[in-house]
Amino acid sequence: MPKLGIDVDKYLRTQVLPTVWCPGCGNGNTVEGLATAFARLDVDPTQAVVVGGIGCSGRTPFYVATNAMHTTHGRALGYATGLKMAQPNLTVVVTMGDGDALAIGGNHFIHAARRNIDLTVLVYNNGIYGMTGGQGAPTTPFGSRTTTSLTGSIERTFDTIEIALAAGATYVARTTTFDMQEIPLRIEEAIKHPGFAVVEILSQCPTYYGRLNQIGDSSDMLVWERDRTEGLPVKMLNREELLGPLKTGVFKNERITEFTKAYSDLCARVGGSYGLS
């Protein structure tokens, strides 16, 4: 694990390693990226909370040495919203699978984005339901095989970035587990951003997606991720260009009023008190 002159291990529960994840699962890349981002920002672990949903990716809080919440499938953003409203000074990072964030949790995702509450949301997009056996997800690429679409998915694919942008997220980025240097950079930007920040990380599930689609092992999947994406050009894209290879990079970085601040201002205006204490 690269140290880059900083103590990444301080942010990992090394005593519980190895993880429960399959060998070569992309989740480890993202956890390392998160720990690196925390280390570079010198985040106080007692003042940070990692909130996970359910699924393989939902296990992330088990391995990050901050406060942790392991919640329910699709509801991580509900818990995180309550936590942030009660304790607005905490750094709250929410880790969810694509199914967790955009299928069962889709409504929470769009409304948390609409409110612009200061949460960092990491969507681990492996295009499949990993934990429950490789079923199709809204993010499953059109035509690909899952255990519920053995002849190829005929459903159209949700684009996390388009949904986040349309719902009002104010920081929106995509990277991949191939881009190991970029993951901590994007997570750092998202944590520093005072608003709803979404980082989609295209990730590999070699056990189900890779095997069912005959992509190969984990390293073959990293090459596949590299080849199906390209960095954002420095210009606005039209609809046809957006339909080409998936773009990576920062799609939006805008500062507007954040929700806990708006609520605090409201309380001051009407003479109420803020928070639960």
Ligand X SMILES: Cc1ncc(C[n+]2csc(CCOP(=O)(O)OP(=O)(O)O)c2C)c(N)n1
Site residues (CB under 6 A) for ligand X? Answer: 54-57, 73, 97-100, 104, 124, 126, 128-132, 137
Contact between 183 and ligand SF4 per CB under 6 A: no
Question: Tokens standing for 112?
Answer: 């948390």
Q: Token match 């329910």: residue?
A: 72
Q: How far is the CB of 66 from ligand X (least distance, A)?
A: 20
Q: How far is the CB of 158 from ligand X (least distance, A)?
A: 12
Q: How far is the CB of 27 from ligand X (least distance, A)?
A: 7
Burial bucket for residue 75 (CB in 10 Å: 0-12, 13-18, 19+): middle
Cβ(139)–Cβ(125) under 8 Å? yes
Cβ(95)–Cβ(50) under 8 Å? yes
Helix 27-41 with 182-192: angle, nearest 10 deg? 50
Q: Which is nearer to ligand X, 22 or 250 (CB)?
A: 22
Q: Which is nearer to ligand X, 102 or 173 (CB)?
A: 102
Question: Tokens standing for 120?
Answer: 């960092």
Contact between 146 and ligand SF4 per CB under 6 A: no
Q: Which is nearer to ligand SF4, 126 or 175 (CB)?
A: 126
Q: Which is nearer to ligand SF4, 130 or 249 (CB)?
A: 130
Quick one: which of 188, 206, 229, 260 contacts ligand SF4 (CB under 6 A)? 206
Quick one: which of 27, 139, 146, 213 contacts ligand SF4 (CB under 6 A)? 27
Q: How far is the CB of 123 from ligand X (least distance, A)?
A: 9
Helix 259-270 with 76-86: angle, nearest 10 deg? 40
Contact between 21 and ligand SF4 per CB under 6 A: yes
Question: Tokens standing for 225?
Answer: 């991720």
Quick one: which of 56, 92, 183, 199 contacts ligand SF4 (CB under 6 A)? 56
Alpha helical stretches, state H, the chain:
27-41, 76-86, 98-99, 106-115, 160-167, 182-192, 211-212, 218-227, 239-242, 259-270
Residue 73: which of ligand SF4, ligand X, none does it interact with, CB under 5 to 8 A by kind? Answer: ligand X
Under DSSP, is residue 217 helix (H, G, I), strand (E, B) or coil?
Answer: coil
The Cα 224–Cα 177 span in angstroms is: 11
List of residues contacting ligand SF4 (CB under 6 A):
21-22, 25, 27, 56, 126, 130-131, 205-208
